[in-house]
Structure 1
Amino acid sequence: MANRLSRSTSPYLRQHADNPVDWWPWGEDAFAAARERGVPVLLSVGYSACHWCHVMAHESFEDEDTAAYLNEHFVSVKVDREERPDVDAVYMEAVQAATGQGGWPMTVFLTPDAEPFYFGTYFPPAPRHGMPSFRQVLEGVRAAWRDRRDEVGEAAARIVRDLAGRQMDFGGTAAPGKDELHAALLALTREYDDRHGGFGGAPKFPPSMVLEFLLRHHARTGSEAALQMAQDTCESMARGGIYDQLGGGFARYAVDRTFTVPHFEKMLYDNALLARVYAHLWRATGSDLARRVALETCDFLVRELRTAEGGFASALDADSDRPDGGHAEGAFYVWTPDELRAVLGEQDAALAAGYFGVTEAGTFEEGASVLQLPGDGVADAARIGSVRERLLAAREGRPRPGRDDKVVAAWNGLVVAALAETGAYFGRPDLVEAAVGAADLLVRVHMDEAGRLARTSRDGVTGGHVGVLEDYADVAEGFLALSAVTGEGVWVDFAGLLLDSVLRHFTAQDGMLYDTADDAEALIRRPQDPTDNAAPSGWTAAAGALLSYAAYTGSEVHRDAAEKALGVVGALAGRAPRFIGWGLAVAEAALDGPREVAVAGPADDPATGELHRTALLGTAPGAVVAVGEPDSEEYAILAHRPLVDGRPAAYVCRRFVCDAPTADPAGLAVRLGVAAGPLL
């Protein structure tokens, strides 16, 4: 019999709907039941593509004896962290404070007043490697609750007081200047892995936001060190197993420092961010590899993650069924030499093994290899193309990983920006159309007339969870990027509605930002974190969107809010640049202006299109682009921008103070730092 989770719009929660555990979704009803029964709450937080979440579910939550014990002595609450990042954030903060580490599944025991008192992540079904079994943990918590309830309550109240008393003090209020951004570059240089690319050791995550900073820093300063780190990291990832060499797209992270063996889940946000990084790298250098990876990643997004409603699903699982039975991580993606021979025959299998780094010993588990591009390639591109097509077709016959098909507003905003820009750069109107479709879904389904957002939807129906700061910021960012590509000012208007909500509901009097709205559900602490995780923080993403919107409209209110939000970036630039990368990228834009490019000309005039494309290819950090009829009212920056001698013209401005207009694309390219390669 299905439990309460069967009615959820979260695929992750629905995966637990047939557990014998009597799960509750997060909400007051669950805590009221705990108060009525006088029992503690087990809070289990995870997400659909989480490998160890599935392991713990199979080992413990599907076990009848464990479920019976839970049902008798606890109220069990299951949360999808991607639907409720606020719940995840406040209890993860408690877990990390108590244990020094965190992760998913996150396992927290709460009082009926939602106060935490015991913490952990994954617990095995039997004691292992110094960890107690899950049953031992349950019995210990039950005994403490039964025999020392006052002590437990006092400890929980103390934890909540400690969390509430934590005040963010990063020591800075001014937006970073040249010195702070240079200090960030030096700090990154010290942490850079000059052998394998990326930063730090294993596990190694794609440093998407840091790469954007490095590209913008190079564009502003000409720093070859910044460009080299970005190029080498992008090449290392593109050649490594973290990149799907057959189908395109990136896995969430690599378990090693060489980007060879991935943790195989593919997340929407990673691929949206990385597609944009590679498109921007091509824009700066003309790299054929960057062009290929940007396009392949966007094609992967559209092919495998687009939903019937036009939005984009959240993730593909790491695990899938094996052809010979069982369920294993990476089963869909890895190859043995025998499998190559079965598909390709002896000669082409030998070619493929050398080209993709497939060995008899294997680079993964049980003699299987993750496909890579370890060498410089081969001369016979047509033959390799045939090999890749046949392997991809054969892989399509394997059992596919599960797909989490909920639509998350923030991540769809990131996809809109990536698809719009990549489509514009490479003459792919189908990608721009996909961006428009996703943006339209966000407006129709996720956004109300007051500029408030729902966090998630599934099958075109919202999930009932309010948007958090990153939703407003990333969707606004996507709308602004889409406006630059399409020339439709309505997307700037929609972005303005969202950013007005940011100013009204997420911003404190001192200009600092909260992750949740002032009228959202009250938790034990109102989360507030400016540092990046796998995607830009809501704080720095909001700073970027506010800055761009001010450049489009001339709004000093939005500009001032962006600059106040950037104060924390100045404080962290030299101390923790890897964790404030998007903030550093936004600071580069603020330092450069950002430049405002207004292209005035008839839509059907090829000269207008050439100026528009040149403007989009400009590498000036964070430049905003508007295109429309002369003296158009579509955008503020197009007002009073006439033709020049009867010809379409481009105006390059900073804070609405403009240089002399130009009708010459080559002259515009020089002003905006357009690289020679992409124009060829």
Structure 2
Amino acid sequence: MAHESFEDETVAAMLNKDFISIKVDREERPDVDHIYMAVCQAMTGQGGWPLTVFLTPEKKPFFAGTYFPRSRKYNRAGMVEIVAQIAGKWQEDAQRIREVGDQIIQETSSRMLEHRSGGEVSEQTLHEAFKLYEDRFDPENGGFGDSPKFPTSHNLSFLLRYYEKTGKPKALEMVEKTLDAMHRGGMYDHIGYGFSRYSVDDKWLVPHFEKMLYDNALLTMTYIEAFQVTEKKKYAEVAEQIIAYVLRDMTDVGGAFYSAEDADSEGEEGKFYVWTPDEVEVVLGPDEGDLYAELFDITESGNFEGHNIPNLIETTLESFAKRKQIPLDELKKRIEAARVKLFAHREQRIHPGKDDKILTSWNGLMIVALSKAARALDKPAYAEAAAKAADFLLEHLRRKEDGRLLARYRDGEAAFLGYVDDYAFLVWGLIELYEATFELRYLREAVQLNEEMLRLFWDDEKGGLFFYGSDAEQLLTRPKEIYDGAMPSGNAAAALNLLRLSRLTYDAKLSQVADEQLQAFAGAVVNYPPGHALMLAALDFAFGQPSEIVIAGDPGKVETQQLLRTVHRQYLPNALLILHPSGVAGEEVRKLIPLASDKLPLGGQATAYVCQNFACHSPTTDLEELEDLLNANGSH
């Protein structure tokens, strides 16, 4: 529509004559987007982008739709006709249009403010969710449902939790099939790394080539978790490649992360990413070029509009090596050498545009991902990158006068009061970062921001968190988001944060608020559990038996680090990890985390305490005994 309508002289003249045109960046103003998308859905029965809404001067919506061509075609009204008709009706009877706007507001508000309790969540909800995931699973191609297919890795993360809880092999099978299929498909950038936003087909071959920070953050988390559960190195390798992409192409000089890379370059979607056999041969030479092209499905006829998206859908490195009688290690070295050359060549092309705004919420998710990867892979550099991003947000995306979190930073300017996602995802990131670095200041910041979130967003009447704060611009209504779409909801992340912080800080009030949070949305979750994967993770934490693991010892000593690494290696989604050093640092830990108070090194040696519901096993200094305790204790 930008090209067809808004850059068209005729349409522009009509709009400028009778309307004030406002273009909204839905990532900067998701509050506006959520509300007017709900309006569109209420009026038309469907939503999507581009979203076009006509409002009265009082901001009351009276006409909405998604894509409108310049002029009528395919039985779809065009902007020229719509703009002329609306302008005419406004001249004839503006009052009637205002009345329509009032009716639409009333209908939309009642829909958005429906009380979503009216149900009772229990452990049974987790089992029902699993059954529904199983029903929707695509056993041939992985993923859920039909095309287009989105990664929605939080669904896979829930299934990993469910597998660890129940041991049901089908849960892990669905995860592995999907992770493998997504990585082998064209949705993954096999030359420069990172995932595109979604696949337009059911085989994950043809992506919408846009790369989003949040997708890559969430997928990093899930591949790391899969590595911890299965101990398969391939999942760790994918996670590391995604991180390499983000740190290389999506990182600001200050350490925070950019939002996205466009799908288009030179006016064509995917042009930057596709190849012909001749291009590959020019870069690699005939022998290596033929090998690479055969492996990655690069043919004369092409697999995408006459060009080729490199993919491994029909083969794997292992089966290809066997068929070609090439030792697997040798093949891997040759393919990596080829990738490096192709990447260097591709870098000379005109790049897609980069959305270099820094969003607090999406950065929070990337901090979570880096912190998880740092722990599981024993890569301190990832924790350093996470800390640098966190420090940037805490310095530049908080209002100086009162510490109010802001949503967006770009070109030296921070703007827009933070939404619930900004608070919830950053608090999540800070909790994970504490467990990666054991710098207590990050946990303190998490506690403070969590308190501020409850003050600004909590609904005292019905529970749950509104999407925008009580101090923000008041729109038609104050919605609460609970459904997990491309990203999990802020309310779900907040529920998990509340549960974890209440146990870390012994705060009974936070525990009560967490219970109210789960109950506030019980109706929605029970009605369709798979739509609320992260809330299911919070339920799993609440109904399970979370563990508290305290490592008492000097963080600089080898034996302390060995105990920490033993814990970090394991998949422990419902465990809290605390480091209790000696001296002044230990005093500070005890003030914030009372659980650590009586957990001291035995005989001067680093010691591990594994507790469940605040009752602890005998402490140990032995690595194997610690591993046995973690396995036997149901920490999984």
User: What is the TM-score with the length of structure 2 in the denominator?
Assistant: 0.93
Structure 2 counterpart of 1:33: none
Match of 2:614 in 1: 656
Measure how far apart 1:535 and its partner are: 0.9
Deviation of 1:370 (Å): 4.2
**SS of residue in 2 equivalent to 1:76:** coil
Give how far 1:568 is off. 5.3
What's the CA shift for 1:659? 2.6
- After TM superposition, give the deviation of residue 674 of structure 1 in Å: 10
Number of the residue aligned with 1:65: 10
AA aligned opposite 1:621 = P
2:109 equivalent to 1:109: no
Say whether 1:362 aligns with 2:320: no
Q: Which residue of 2 aligns with 1:536?
A: 488
Equivalent position to 2:289, from 344, 349, 358: 349
| Mapped pair 1:591 → 2:543 | yes
The Cα shift of 1:657 comes to: 3.1
Q: Say yes or no: does 1:335 pair with 2:270.
A: no
C-alpha change, 1:60 and 1:550, in structure 2 (3 Å) is same
Deviation at 1:109, TM superposition (A): 0.1
Match of residue 24 from structure 1: none
CA contact (8 A) 2:152 2:487 kept: no
Q: Provide the C-alpha distance between the structure 1 equivalents of 2:153 and 2:21, rounded to a whole number of angstroms.
A: 36
Show the counterpart of 1:169: 115
Superposed CA offset, 1:395-435 (max 9, x none): 11111011111110011011111112212322322221111
1:639 aligns with 2:590: no
Correspondence for 1:439? 390
| Aligned residue in 2 for 1:412 | 363
Matching residue within 251, 254, 261 for 2:196: 251
Cα distance change, pair 173–551 in 1 and its aligned pair in 2 (3 A): farther
Q: Which range is displaced more, 634-643 or 185-194?
A: 634-643
**Residue identity matched to 1:239:** R
Give the deviation of 1:385 after TM superposition.
1.3
* Structure-2 separation of matches of 1:333 and 1:674: 48
3-state secondary structure, aligned to 2:417: coil
CA apart distance, 1:616: 2.1
Cα offsets for 1:541-573 (capped at 9, x unmatched): 111111121122111211222222223564444
Give 1:172 deviation, angstroms.
Answer: 4.1
Aligned to 1:517: 469
Residue 620 of structure 1: how far off its partner (Å): 2.6
- The farther-off stretch of 60-69 and 597-606 is 60-69
Q: How many positions carry a matched residue from both structures?
A: 613
Q: Counterpart in 1 of 2:325? A: none
Task: Give the match for residue 507 of structure 1.
Answer: 458
SS in structure 1 at match of 2:21: strand
Quick one: which of 612, 617, 621 aligns to 2:573?
621
Distance 1:622 1:141, change over 3 A: farther
Deviations 1:510-539 (A, max 9, x none): 322211112211001111121111111111
**Alpha-carbon distance in 2 for matches of 1:670, 1:71:** 71
Q: Which moved more, 1:276-285 or 1:607-616?
A: 607-616
Partner Cα distance (2:390, 2:452) in 1? 18
Q: Does 2:185 align with 1:230? A: no
State the alpha-carbon separation in 2 of the partners of residues 431 and 363 from structure 1: 36
Separation of aligned partners in 2, 1:639 and 1:320: 58
Give the conservation status (yes or no) of the 8 Å contact 2:68–2:79.
Answer: yes
CA shift digits 1:425-463 (9 cap, x unpaired): 223222211111100011101124755210011134202
**Distance (Å, rounded) in 2 between the aligned partners of 1:451 and 1:567:** 30
Q: Secondary structure at the match of 1:75?
A: coil
- Once the two structures are superposed, residues 55-81 of structure 1 have per-residue CA deviations (whole angstroms, 9 ceiling, x without a partner) of x21222222222121111101111100
Take 1:348 and 1:288, find their aligned partners in 2: how far apart are those partners?
26
Tell me, what secondary structure is at the counterpart of 2:572?
coil
Shift of 1:389: 1.1
Question: Does residue 579 in structure 1 map to residue 531 in structure 2?
Answer: yes
- 1:495 matched to 2:446? The reply is yes
Matched to 2:285, the amino acid is G
Please give the alpha-carbon distance, in whole angstroms, between the structure 1 residues aligned to 2:19 and 2:210.
32
CA deviation profile, 1:208-260 (whole Å, cap 9, x unmatched): 11111111111222221111111111111111111111111110100011111
Distance 1:201 1:673, change over 3 A: farther
- Supply the AA of the counterpart residue of 1:657: A
**Structure 1 residues 442 and 395, CA, compared in 2 at 3 Å: closer, same or farther?**
same
Q: Structure 1 residues 565-574 or 381-390, which shifts more?
A: 565-574
Residue 154 of structure 1: aligned partner: 99
1:171-190 to structure 2, matched below 5 A, reads: 171-172=117-118, 174=120, 176-190=121-135
Structure 2: which amino acid aligns with 1:177?
S
CA displacement at 1:621 relative to structure 2? 2.4
Matched AA of 1:89: H
Percent of paired sites with the same residue: 38
Any idea what SS the aligned residue of 1:79 has?
A: coil
Moved more, 381-390 or 658-667: 658-667
**In the alignment, what sits opposite 1:26?**
none
- The alignment status of 1:272 with 2:232, answered yes or no, reads no
Q: For the Cα contact (< 8 Å) 1:483–1:491, is it kept in 2?
A: yes
Aligned residues of 2:117 and 2:521 also touching (Cα < 8 A): no
CA distance in 1, matches of 2:617, 2:246: 39
Alignment map for 1:546-565 (pairs within 5 Å): 546-565=498-517
Tell me if the contact between 1:264 and 1:317 (Cα under 8 Å) persists in the aligned partners: yes
Q: In the TM superposition, what is the alpha-carbon distance from 1:177 to its structure 2 partner?
A: 2.7
Matched, 1:672 2:630: yes
Identify which range, 264-273 or 627-636, moves more after superposition. 627-636
Aligned to 2:324: none
The alignment status of 1:452 with 2:452, answered yes or no, reads: no
Deviation at 1:315, TM superposition (A): 0.3
Does structure 1 retain, via aligned residues, the 8 Å contact 2:609–2:620? Answer: yes
TM-score (norm 1): 0.87
Q: Which runs of 5+ in 2 are unaligned?
A: 322-327
The separation in 1 between residues aligned to 2:616 and 2:97, in whole angstroms, is: 65
How far apart are the structure 2 equivalents of 1:651 and 1:591? 22
CA 1:674–1:129: 2 relative to 1, 3 Å = farther
Shift of 1:383: 1.1
Structure 2 Cα separation of the partners of residues 434 and 674 of structure 1: 34
Counterpart in the other structure of 1:35: none
More deviation, 340-349/154-163: 340-349
| 2:242 corresponds to 1:297 | yes
Q: Which moved more, 1:572-581 or 1:127-136?
A: 572-581
Instruction: State whether residues 205 and 309 of structure 2, in contact with CA within 8 Å, keep that contact through their aligned partners in structure 1.
Output: no
1:642 Cα deviation from its structure 2 partner: 0.5
Report the Cα distance in structure 2 between the residues aligned to 1:222 and 1:448, rounded to whole angstroms: 47
Cα RMSD after superposing both structures:
1.8
Range with greater deviation from structure 2 (114-123 or 646-655) = 646-655
Please state how far the C-alpha of 1:179 moved relative to its aligned partner.
Answer: 1.3
Does residue 418 of structure 2 align to residue 467 of structure 1?
Answer: yes
CA displacement at 1:658 relative to structure 2: 2.5
Q: Which letter maps to 2:311?
A: L
Cα offset for 1:655?
A: 4.3
Post-superposition offset of 1:660? 2.4
1:28 is aligned to none
